[in-house]
């Protein structure tokens, strides 16, 4: 497996990324999102703003946006929802796995950084009314 750059810490994510997302849903319609992910300086970390056009099968497109806070905490990157609730933590490596429990649903993520600066996050979500896999691909946008 390829090695990630030695300097892959929180601030290696800063900047703008092309975001392509596919949600394969076992209990509802599939979805795609095409847009941008931007990591901006925010207090003692970075604010991740994901925005784009969400296409749900059989429905007109709509705009969507989600925000998260990422912070470097020792060797780990800690992620939080925009309201500061903890989300998940990871130590950068070629591939990582993490989890988040939000009763009654389980969220498991595998993040792949082996082809940095391109990277991928795959969430598997299971619960009484949820059963989907969400694959997000991030590609850095070159500075002009």
Q: Hey, where are the domains in the chain?
A: 10-139
Please tell me the pTM assigned to this model.
Answer: 0.92
Phi/psi at 84 (5° precision): 80, 5
pLDDT tens, residue by residue, 61-82: 999 999 999 999 999 999 999 9
Instruction: Report the C-alpha gap between 48 and 16 in whole angstroms.
Output: 10
Three-state SS at 10: helix
Q: Which two tokens stand for residue 67?
A: 């925000």
pLDDT tens, residue by residue, 90-109: 999 889 999 999 999 999 99
User: In sequence order, which residues have a C-beta less than 8 Å from that of residue 17 and are 6 or more positions away?
Assistant: 36, 37, 38, 39, 138, 139, 140, 141
In words, the CATH class of domain 10-139 is: mainly beta
């Amino acid at each position: 497996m390829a090695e990630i750059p030695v300097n892959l810490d929180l601030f290696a994510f800063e900047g703008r990324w092309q975001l392509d997302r596919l949600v394969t849903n076992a209990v509802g319609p599939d979805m795609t999102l095409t847009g941008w992910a931007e990591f901006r300086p925010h207090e003692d970390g970075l604010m991740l703003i994901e925005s784009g056009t969400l296409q749900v099968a059989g429905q007109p497109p709509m705009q969507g946006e989600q925000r998260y806070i990422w912070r470097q905490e020792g060797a780990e990157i800690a992620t939080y929802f925009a309201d500061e609730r903890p989300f998940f933590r990871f130590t950068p490596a070629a591939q990582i796995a993490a989890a988040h429990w939000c009763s009654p649903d389980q969220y498991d993520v595998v993040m792949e950084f082996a082809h940095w600066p391109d990277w991928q996050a795959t969430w598997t979500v299971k619960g009484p009314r949820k059963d989907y896999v969400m694959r997000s691909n991030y590609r850095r946008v070159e500075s002009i």
